[in-house]
Structures are given as structure tokens and as C-alpha cells.
Amino acid sequence: MRLKKDDTVKIIAGKDKGVTGKIVKVDTENERVYVQGANMVSKAMKKRNQQDQGGIAKIEASVHVSNVALVTKNGATTRLGYKIENGKKVRYAKKTGETV
């Protein structure tokens, strides 16, 4: 999987199409990512201790990797590729050619 935590991505398909946010968590086994502020679902939470509130909370649900695209510095969406530079494997934006 080419996307990593803290990458800025844009959702390109689904109910939250067009939403931009940072990746909070990556699930490589199921090829899913959690995007901050996107795909919010309601979850019933149990009260765990004195300070913690129970009730219905809004949390992020996962989005499949194929439904997100990396956002470059100029704001365009692009795909990612790998290339070898100075003996190191680096990620680069296929649209602009810049390293990520």
C-alpha cells in the first residue's frame, strides 16, 4: 500500500466524495484507511469510568484505498509511484513527478 499515515488525501468516490483530510490510521491487511473528518458514523459507546461519557458518539469509519487519492502541494489529486534515487526507494507523484 502506497499511502501512509499523515498523508493528505481526497475522497474520490462514495457518500463523502470531495472531502479532503489527513489519514489517521492505515489498515494494510484489509487495504483501508481512516480519513480525519470523513465517513463519520454513529457508534453507541459504553460509559467506562467516572470522567468518560457514554452515549452515541461520532467516529470515523474506514474507506477503501481505491476510493482515495493523494493531494499534492498545489492541490491536485495524483497517483503514487516508487522510484530509486541515490540508492533509496522514494514515493513520487505520477502527475507532477515530485517526490512525496
Residue 71's closest CA among 96, 88, 47?
96
What is the rounded average pLDDT of the residues 6-19?
A: 95
Domain ranges of the chain: 8-93
CB atoms within 10 A of CB 92: 17
The larger pLDDT score, comparing residue 50 to residue 87, is at 87
Rounded to whole angstroms, the Cα distance separating 51 from 83 reads 49
Range scoring the smallest mean pLDDT among 18-22, 50-54, 81-85: 50-54
Quote the mean pLDDT of the chain: 94
CATH topology of domain 8-93: SH3 type barrels. (2.30.30)
- For residue 52, name the pLDDT band (cuts at 50, 70, 90): confident
CB 23 within 8 A of CB 9: yes
CB 26 within 8 A of CB 5: yes
* Model confidence, pTM: 0.86
CB 11 within 8 A of CB 40: no
What is the rounded average pLDDT of the residues 78-89?
A: 95
